[in-house]
Chains A and B, each alone.
Chain A
Amino acid sequence: DTAVSQTPKYLVTQMGNDKSIKCEQNLGHDTMYWYKQDSKKFLKIMFSYNNKELIINETVPNRFSPKSPDKAHLNLHINSLELGDSAVYFCASSQDLGTETGYTFGSGTRLTVV
């Protein structure tokens, strides 16, 4: 199936730990994104990569570090996790800016920090 797949689906961890979320797309898209969805369902852009290059880094703490080993992968590493990091994180991809073809989203990673 052509898709955006992210792992794990659920992640429960203690404060202060370091964790990673992986994302892969097999759609041949050249732009990938990380979005954070809070408890009120608001989706906010965190990072955007185009052809492995960072093009957008919204006001995200530097504890969050994206890594794109190739065009098809964009992983998110989070250091020193805090309670406020609990949210659902979505990976997405698009061809170019996706202004006409839209974004394809993964099914999300629910991160719970305890």
Chain B
Amino acid sequence: TQLLEQSPQFLSIQEGENLTVYCNSSSVFSSLQWYRQEPGEGPVLLVTVVTGGEVKKLKRLTFQFGDARKDSSLHITAAQPGDTGLYLCAGVSSGYSTLTFGKGTMLLVSP
């Protein structure tokens, strides 16, 4: 069974702070994706990382894929209230054909 552990489960910060969310597994993933889900909506893809050690930036969001392709991190610089939401990592490992999701990190950014 492929299992993705996310930490922290919940994060409440003030606008302007920086934060990092982690996604870890004992399985190797061919690719790993990050989604953001807002209340009443489905998850929306933010980024896909494919290569071990890869770093991708999306404005104030920086995503990193671990060298061994077993873990990933999401760093947000100068968080804004609009960043509030549930952040989900998801991946497909060898032998599986569908995305497995982590349990998510709920981020609340207060003005």
Contacts and interface: CB of A to CB of B under 8 A. Distances in A.
Nearest to A42: B103
Main secondary structure of the interface of B (DSSP, over half): strand
Interface residues on B, range: 20 to 34
Given A56-B97, A108-B42, A99 B31 contact: yes
Interface in A29-54: 33, 35, 40-45, 48
A20 interface: no
B92 A99 contact: yes
A69 interface: no
A102 B48 contact: yes
Contact of A103 (B37, B99, B104): B99
Nearest to B37: A41
B98 A48 contact: yes
Interface stretch (A11-19, A60-68, A74-82, A90-98): A90-98
Contacts of A90: 42-43
